[in-house]
């Protein structure tokens, strides 16, 4: 018997709580299955270190409602020429900075066309600012129960955040560095990967390279797999772009690793991610590959879970875009 897509989603929605609770006692923790610490702090990143191959300039922006303050760090090659440079915009800027080190920056700076690196984060020392990114990175309102079982309404700020990038961040970056507007890339992981896809769907000319790592297609009961994707697939007429969809092998088979099922936050999250099948990103890449003008690459990282995919996917992105050594396997050992 073949189940419909909607039926498969309902079945998968039961797996996180039923299957995982039954099997977690026998799961051995590994680098591919670490739980994220939402309060993890950052310090001594490349922004604070002595400039060797890149110099970093910083500016801040406030949201109109005063609820969020963004911090943008712009990495400019010290030996860059006057020719326009490619540029990589990275979401979760603090976490992205933790992936970088001086040898990697030196390798990037040595490229013939060394990229400008733009880290879009929040003005705090959190590695991941979950409440802020939940608002900014999601184009759909999500109505779900929180860890206390109380109904919540969150998200839906992606279009405003797209405007912020186009109207405020990009112009400020271009005031500081000479940018090749035909070589602009956007990378994001998890909800950030979802933002990359919604930007592709609604503003396909904003970037030439879209890199979506472990996109949270389960958001809002699988809403990203609905009308917005369908309208893009039906109405996109040859706008050229290169798209990477990246996914951890453990993610694709629904292996959530060792989780603390006594933590209400974990239980609530596992309940929510049943909104899409674990292999939804792989299937999405197949649909996107049929769109005229898109060059689509799907890459799966053997054995990796969701958390380590942030580091691995960013390292892979730097290699694919700029030809530096692919350190994604080294990065997979990081949380």
The 10s digit of each residue's pLDDT in 102-115 is 999 999 999 999 99
The catalytic position among 32, 107, 189, 190 is 190
The pTM of this model reads 0.85
**Which residues does 223 contact at the CB level (< 8 Å), separation at least 6?**
140, 142, 275
Residue pointed to by tokens 């310090």: 43
**Which residues does 81 contact at the CB level (< 8 Å), separation at least 6?**
none
Please name the helix (run of DSSP H) or strand (run of DSSP E) that holds residue 248, with its range, or none. Answer: strand 241-248
Please name the helix (run of DSSP H) or strand (run of DSSP E) that holds residue 295, with its range, or none. Answer: strand 294-301
The catalytic position among 53, 107, 198, 251 is 251
Tell me the pLDDT tens digit for each residue of 233-287: 998 767 899 999 999 999 998 776 666 666 656 655 666 666 789 999 999 999 9
First to last CA, the chain: 40
Q: For residues 335 and 41, what is the distance between their CA atoms, to the nearest angstrom?
A: 13
For each of the chain's 335 residues, which pLDDT tens digit applies?
A: 333 333 433 333 333 333 333 333 223 333 334 445 667 898 889 999 998 899 999 999 999 888 899 999 999 999 877 899 999 999 999 999 999 999 999 999 999 999 999 999 999 999 999 999 999 999 999 987 666 667 778 999 999 999 999 999 999 999 999 999 999 999 999 999 999 999 999 999 999 999 999 999 999 989 999 999 999 999 876 789 999 999 999 999 877 666 666 665 665 566 666 678 999 999 999 999 999 999 999 999 999 999 999 999 999 999 999 999 999 988 655 54
CA angle 254, 249, 236 (to 5 degrees): 90
Instruction: Please confirm, yes or no, whether 4 is among the known catalytic residues.
Output: no
Instruction: Please confirm, yes or no, whether 332 is among the known catalytic residues.
Output: no
Instruction: Please confirm, yes or no, whether 251 is among the known catalytic residues.
Output: yes
The catalytic position among 107, 306, 311, 328 is 306
Q: For residues 189 and 76, what is the distance between their CA atoms, to the nearest angstrom?
A: 23
- What beta strand segments (E) does 47-158 contain? 54-62, 69-77, 85-90, 116-122, 141-145, 151-155
- Provide the β-strand partners of residue 209: 185, 242
What homologous superfamily does CATH list for 40-331? Alpha/Beta hydrolase fold, catalytic domain (3.40.50.1820)
């Amino acid at each position: 018997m073949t189940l419909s897509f909607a039926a498969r989603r309902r079945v998968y929605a039961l797996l996180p709580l039923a299957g995982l609770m039954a099997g977690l006692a026998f799961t051995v923790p590994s680098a591919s299955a670490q739980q994220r610490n939402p309060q993890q702090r950052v310090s001594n990143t490349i922004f604070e270190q002595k400039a060797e191959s890149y110099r970093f300039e910083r500016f801040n922006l406030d949201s109109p409602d005063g609820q969020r303050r963004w911090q943008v760090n712009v990495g400019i090659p010290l030996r860059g020429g006057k020719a326009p440079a490619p540029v990589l915009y990275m979401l979760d800027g603090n976490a992205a900075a933790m992936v970088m080190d001086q040898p990697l920056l030196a390798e990037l700076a040595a490229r013939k066309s060394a990229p400008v690196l733009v880290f879009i984060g929040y003005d705090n020392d959190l590695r991941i600012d979950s409440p802020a990114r939940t608002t900014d990175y999601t184009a759909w309102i999500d109505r779900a129960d929180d860890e206390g079982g109380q109904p919540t309404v969150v998200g839906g700020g992606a279009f405003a955040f797209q405007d912020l990038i186009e109207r405020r961040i990009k112009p400020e970056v271009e005031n500081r560095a000479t940018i090749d507007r035909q070589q602009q890339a956007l990378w994001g992981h998890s909800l950030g990967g979802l933002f990359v896809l919604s930007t592709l769907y609604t503003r396909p000319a904003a970037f030439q390279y879209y890199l979506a790592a472990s996109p949270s297609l389960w958001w809002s009961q699988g809403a990203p797999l609905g009308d917005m994707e369908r309208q893009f697939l039906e109405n996109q007429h040859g706008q050229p772009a290169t798209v990477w969809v990246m996914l951890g092998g453990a993610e694709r088979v629904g292996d959530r690793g060792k989780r603390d099922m006594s933590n209400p936050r974990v239980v609530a999250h596992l309940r929510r991610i049943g909104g899409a099948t674990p292999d939804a990103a792989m299937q999405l890449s197949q649909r996107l590959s049929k769109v005229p003008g898109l060059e689509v690459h799907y890459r799966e990282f053997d054995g990796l879970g969701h958390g380590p995919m942030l580091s691995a996917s960013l390292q892979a992105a730097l290699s694919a875009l700029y030809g530096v050594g692919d350190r994604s396997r080294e990065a997979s050992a990081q949380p």
